[in-house]
Amino acid sequence: MLDSMLRARSIAVIGASQTKNAAGTDKLGTVALNYLLAHRYPGKVYPVNPKETEIRGLPCYASIADIPDDIDLALIAVPAKASISVMKECAAAGVKSAVVLASGFSEAGEPELESELVAAAKEGGVRFCGPNTNGLISIVNDMVACTSMVCAMDSFNKGSIAFLTQSGAVGGSMLGTGNEEQGGFSHWVSVGNEADLQIADYLDYLVDDPDTRVFALFVEGIRNPEKFTGALAKAAKAGKPVVVYKIGLSEVSAAAAASHTGSMVGSDAVFDAVCRKYGVVRVDDAADLLPTAITFSRLLDKLPKGPRMGVIGPSGGICGACADECHRFGLDIPELSADAQETLKQFIPPYGAFRNPIDVTLQIRSSPTGYQDTIRTVLEQDYIDGAFLLVTMVGEPRASFYCDIFTEAARATDKPVIVGWTGAQSLASQAIPQLKKNQMPIYFSARGAVKAMRALLDYSRFLAARTEAGQ
């Protein structure tokens, strides 16, 4: 159903123009066209504007009907009222799918206008995203059909996360920061008012997408609970985790959602119960949404088999802080066996800590392989299910040394390893970017690292329970 939209081979940009708007900036259709070309879309591009003959070196057509090609996707960048007639023209021309960028529909108190748009599309069999949307990006297909300022970035990192958002502005901001964190994305969709296609439709379709293994959802409200739970059940069966942040805990945020997209927020308690039933990873901080999804994308093949963690750091203080967070979030820190402790005493100064947490002390640097040997020894214990590698104050070049040994240790084990880097990032100007490029999960607080590991454990247990139940 959505192949023509997310894998479009030809795109018409209706409303692109050589002229500027009243503010002296590019019109919406021109913005969309510029981003589409800037990101080197490999398919065919057809600007449409009856007042132009050429835009950006491309022939411009007076109407969609004049294009001598089948059109998979139309970007409709005209005012709200004009969108109705344009949608009818698209339907008559056999356009398969569309993105309606304009605002001014149900979210602005014009539900009748939105109903007209839906009727025009339905009559011609056109499925569409929006209205009131920033558009969509298929990163894996080099297709940027979008007007969000995030598209001013030079490129997006290709990967396995599909990010579906009911807020184009917030979603664009998050995509930008996630891209800077070296997160890898397959698709990004700003669903807008969901007059036709809903967030559940994209989720259901992308569960079958081989490029997508993890979902991140920014949710304001669910229009069709049955369709949404059906998509969640499909994702659960496929073993593709869904990470969600949902607004609506307060009356103020619920009202904001209604005015933004016309969305009904619904009961938070019911939504929470749905999340538990289908193994959805619900985060309680919007800032945790993409970092958690990124961690899943990096560790989905190394989910913890249990709650028993190794904690390794250069300071008793940071080890203690991590231990407290593990207690807070239900992770265990088992004492290492006597044999393991004796092994560690070969690498760590006698005033270090060997039981778990393991305090290697700052003097571990006097041993060329002591830190690596410590990490390996801890991860080799069959009663350890994962590890936290903690860093306090360290600068270059030592920071890059940590980067190298942490990466090597993580790649050599089938257990999840998460880095907690609490020192000044400016002092590790080479190490931290390299850790991200190496696809190492990294957090800048002990709590962030522990919460991420707990999310991995919860999903691991969910999958195990489904397997046990024969699902």
pLDDT in tens, 68-95: 999 999 999 999 999 999 999 999 999 9
What are residue 74's phi and psi, to 5 degrees?
-110, 125
pLDDT per 10-residue tile (average), the chain, 471 residues: 95 95 91 98 98 96 97 98 98 98 95 97 97 98 98 98 97 97 98 98 98 97 94 98 88 51 63 94 97 98 98 95 98 98 94 95 81 96 98 95 96 98 97 98 98 98 94 83
Q: Please, what is the average pLDDT of the chain? A: 94
241, 278 contact by CB (below 8 A): no
pTM across the whole model: 0.95
pLDDT at 21: 87
pLDDT at 262: 46
Question: b or e along 30-43 (b: 16 or more beta carbons within 10 Å of the residue's beta carbon)?
Answer: bbbbbbbeebebee
pLDDT at 254: 53
